[in-house]
Amino acid sequence: MVLMVDNIGAKLCQIVTNENVPGETKEWRLLGQEEDGSLLFTWIEENTNRILRSCIGLYNYPKNKLERIFTFNKPLNVVQASINAGRTILAYVLKHKNDKDVFTYRPYLVRLEDYSVCDLNIERSKQIMLQFLLSKHSILNENQTERLLLLIHEECILQYQIRKTSDFHLESFIVESIVRIFIWAQWDAKHQTLYYIHFRKPVKSILDVEDAESNGVKMSPMLSGLQFHDDLPHESVLNIPLNLPHLSPVPSPSCGVYEDDTVPLRVHNCSLDLIVLTNSEGAVCICHHYLYEPGEPEKSMEEHNENTVHFAYTVTILHHSCVIHCIIPGIPWKKAKLIRPVFKLYDDYMLVYIPEICTHLLDIGFSHDPSCHIITTAREIPGLDLERTCLTLVDTLGNYSVLNMPTLDIIDLRVSTEQLAETFKKTTSLENKLSIIHYLLVHKNETENVIELLSHEIEQPFSTGLPQLFREFLIGSSYASVQRNLPSDASQLINLLPVTMQSIGSNFEAMIGNKTITLSQDTLWNASMMLLSPQQRVTPYRPDIWVKLWERLMKNSKGKQKFKPSQVVEKLLVSLVCYQPEALSRSSTPMSPATSLTFSTSNLPKDLSTLKNSIDSLPFYEMESCTASKQEHIISVNLRELSMHLLKQSTDNRVTCFQWQTQTPMHVHAVATRYIGAQLEQSRYLCQALCKICTRSIKWEEKGFVFIDLLPDDLRFVLFTTLEQYYLAAESIAFPVPLGFTSFFTFLGYRTLKFNTFLQYVQRNVFELQIDVMKIIMADILDTKKGVERKLTLLSLLPRMRAKRLLNQWSHPVSLMIRAREHSMNVLSGVEAANAKPQILQKTKNYQLGNEIMYRHGLAAFPTGDRLSPLDTFLDLLTAKASLNELDFGLLIEATITSTDDFL
């Protein structure tokens, strides 16, 4: 439910009551807002004699102060007003019906020091608005001049210069026309900019608008912007063509209804609903809302009151050179014509509130290209009546509040985390879910809430987007972590870091209620050509929003590329092929003897002081048996590639002639190391959170392989499927996983899957058969015929040195024969002679072979009289290739004797 923050009407009535003014006040109406945020209100005052009169006052909302500036002698329909900066002249517009029962507009001026009223002698059925310009006044200049804009819809825009003289009448004013025919206009009080839409004639055409239409020449609408200065002439800073296919250059007689939008000040009729939003950092957005009925362009929608129409809007984001389109089909015409969406800048987003339908958060911030748009439900406004709802933007009310003009209610449109969480759980759109995660991580820093959403997603039986969600978490949380801890002088480089995995410009749909909402995005080419460059300005490089907008467009045009995780993934595809962890083993040499694999997993250490019972610990030991761990390899490749990317992209950092490169190699190193550290930190955090979610916060009294054995089968399966998605996500974006994870995950798969399925995972390099997990698996498989086959299959998939280590520790005849055959092959091929002295394996109890027995019986295991047994012959061949010291007679003879036994 939308929160009603306050009611300005009630506060204004209370102020008047406190002034002890007899009578009552009613019919409060907002007339305008000035550059300093002051609000102009009108109201009707009824005294004790029941005499009615209209009043105009200036209201300061933050201070809650109302200053009465003018009182009429009767009630009048004042629809708009403006006051100069010196508070000496008030301009207002009256609206009334003439003799033909047609509403007409008439502007007036009043000098507040003596209440002299000046009629501007203009009366039109077309809408008229007035606005004072901000002027710089000097106390040394007695002849100060005030400038006033007068806007007449579809006719012209005039500028009045009013000198401070004793004469206050129309003849003393200087009037000039600055704009001819226009169909829409808006005044930006904060930045003193006038926007207007007019129809541009075709190139090299001298036809006027009517002739162009009659000759079939298409006229195109153009949005222009005039920037006014307090001490210099105004200048045209913006000229951008608009795509308004439903708008005709010839005014339609059916669109003579005016809404009288005073804040922000806009001049238009019902044929065009458009607003321009800006901020001081250079963001400029053109928002256009319209209705259409597909397939029937020639028919008037007014004739089909029961039909449904498409409710649509476009947002042209100039600072990103793109256009976002939204279409909501199936809205009844009688309802759609009453809805006026609210477009409001909302931190790094734009909030689009469509009453009774939905709320959009459009990603328009400067940190990255628009991609993470959110579609959520429209929060309910208590007692909402579309006919009495006209939400408008008032800067002084706060960043998230709007004003309902008919009721003067202040409404908070803040999108809460609870609302986003509810949308996340209900929506089926993966893009919408990814955008919500991005918003909560990067823009709100609410990591714990994201973990709760991931927990809900894991519990869903048919969830298919977990890898993408995990990727978005890793990328977004790493970026947010660096953003919080980065030095201010290196802030420019953060724009080169990846912030989301969503593709730019992709279309997506989301179901909100029973409505299918479609968002699409197009590129706006050569946006900088539509602006006046800083060199062409009246004062070159004068700092304002247009210079900032130009610089942002120039920066974007230079093609600064964000770092892509795929760059590291491609490098790892090559380097991991050569990765051999046994090359730098922490244990002794690969062929060294080790203890037999007869111990159980209970022999693993139960207490590591740095991990035991720690809050953020993992259910496995964060250690590996080799110095060249895969984690370190991935980190080193990431660091190298990211550093090179940052250095390359930051070499040319100049946008304009007076900006110089400020990013040094030290900045590059600071950003790269912090980001790589954040990668490991966030990967570990996500792994730890997923383990807690899947094991339902079971206390980890045991860790590692013992922990897996103690898990119930159902929790073990959930943990495996979740960690599988996590591992896939980390691998796809080249993020390191915690030390010890690969062995833990492999043993978890061994305990969860059937052996044939487990083998497929191994063959496809999902499971890594490290030495620690292989010892446990080899000890767990029984030495039956089937078990021996499984062991041999696994050993055949291992690197040669790792398989040798495991064979040395497998006390089985098959292991003995394999090692003997390899020893013989090495001797015959000359490999053994090049190596160090072989290590004699431990003999069994029942077989002792010493030098004494050798010389007594020769080299024969099965002696004959002439010493011509097959073994004698074979040993003779070996001694011919190598010296006696290089031969392991015990291994060869024992393997020969064992081969005669039936050991399977």
Angle between helix axes 785-796 and 800-808 (nearest 10 degrees) is: 150
Residues 656, 541 contacting (CB under 8 angstroms): yes
Task: Report how far Cα 262 is from the mean position of its chain's Cα atoms.
Answer: 34
Say yes or no: 598 and 672 in one domain.
yes
**How is the chain split among helix, strand and coil, in percent rounded to 5?**
35, 25, 40
Helices (H) and strands (E) in the chain, counts: 23, 31
Higher pLDDT pick, 616 / 25: 25
Same structural domain, 710 and 826? no
Whether residue 139 lies inside any domain: the answer is: no
pLDDT (mean) for 533-555: 90
Which pLDDT belongs to residue 902?
Answer: 62
List the one residue out of 884, 875, 900 whose CA is nearest residue 840.
Answer: 884
Report the mean per-residue pLDDT for the chain.
83
776/862 same-domain check? no
Residue 317 amino acid letter: I
Q: Which helix (H) or strand (E) element contains residue 425?
A: helix 417-426
Q: Among 808, 832, 854, where does a domain finish? A: 808
pLDDT at 10 over 60: yes
Cross-strand bridge partners of residue 118: 109
- Say if residues 88 and 111 touch (Cβ distance below 8 Å): yes
Predicted confidence band at 247 (pLDDT cuts at 50, 70, 90)?
confident
- Inter-axis angle of helices 755-763 and 741-752, to 10 degrees? 150
**Of 792, 808, 824, which residue is a domain's last?**
808
- Which amino acid makes up residue 382? P
Average the pLDDT over each of 455-464, 749-758, 845-854 and give the range with the smallest value. 845-854
Closest CA to 781 of 796, 797, 792, 768: 792
Q: What are phi and psi of 85, to 5 degrees?
A: -65, -30
Query: What are the tens digits of pLDDT across the range 568-589?
Result: 999 888 887 666 565 544 433 3
> What pLDDT shows up at residue 722?
96
The residue with greater pLDDT, 530 or 609, is 530
Tally of structural domains, the chain: 2
Look up tokens 């439900």; give the residue.
Answer: 377
Residue 124 lies in a domain: no
Tokens 């009517």 sit on residue: 210
Residues 502 and 471: their CA atoms lie apart, in Å, by 10
3-state secondary structure of 117: strand
Please name which of 378, 640, 682, 663 lies closest in space to residue 517, comparing C-alpha atoms: 378
Query: Rg for the chain (alpha carbons), in Å?
Result: 40
State the pLDDT at residue 582.
Answer: 58
The answer as to whether 734 is a domain residue is yes
Is residue 532 a part of any domain in this protein?
no
Would you give the DSSP letter of residue 264? T
Residue 556 reports pLDDT greater than 90: no
- Which of 630-644, 677-691, 889-903 bottoms out in mean pLDDT, i.e. has the lowest? 889-903
Burial 777-795 (b: 16+ CB within 10 A, else e): bbbbbebeeeebebbeebb
The rounded distance, in Å, linking the Cα atoms of 867 and 811 is 31
Lowest model confidence (mean pLDDT) among 245-254, 398-407, 746-755: 245-254
Same domain, 681 and 823: no
Q: Within this chain, do residues 668 and 613 fall inside the same structural domain, yes or no? A: yes
Q: Which of 293, 350, 292 is nearest to 316 (CA)?
A: 350
Furthest C-alpha separation in the chain:
147
φ, ψ of residue 17 to 5 degrees: the values are -60, -40
- Of 230-239, 249-258, 319-328, 356-365, the poorest mean pLDDT is in 249-258
My answer on whether 850 and 728 are in the same domain is no
Phi, psi of 845 (to 5 degrees): -65, -35
pLDDT for 55-100, tens place per residue?
A: 999 999 999 999 999 999 999 999 999 999 989 999 999 999 887 8
Q: Which domain holds residue 678?
A: 567-808
Q: In this predicted structure, what is the pLDDT of residue 880?
A: 67
Whether residue 514 has pLDDT greater than 90: no
pTM to 2 decimal places: 0.86
- Tell whether the model's pLDDT for residue 846 goes beyond 50: no
Residues 804 and 857 in one domain: no
Closest among 735, 234, 110, 673 to 475, alpha carbons compared: 735
CA 53 to chain centroid, in Å, comes to 54
What's the CA gap between 214 and 193, in Å, rounded?
A: 34
Q: Are 870 and 764 found together in one domain?
A: no
Contact status, residue 189 vs residue 34, Cβ threshold 8 Å = yes
Q: Do 638 and 706 sit in the same domain of this protein?
A: yes
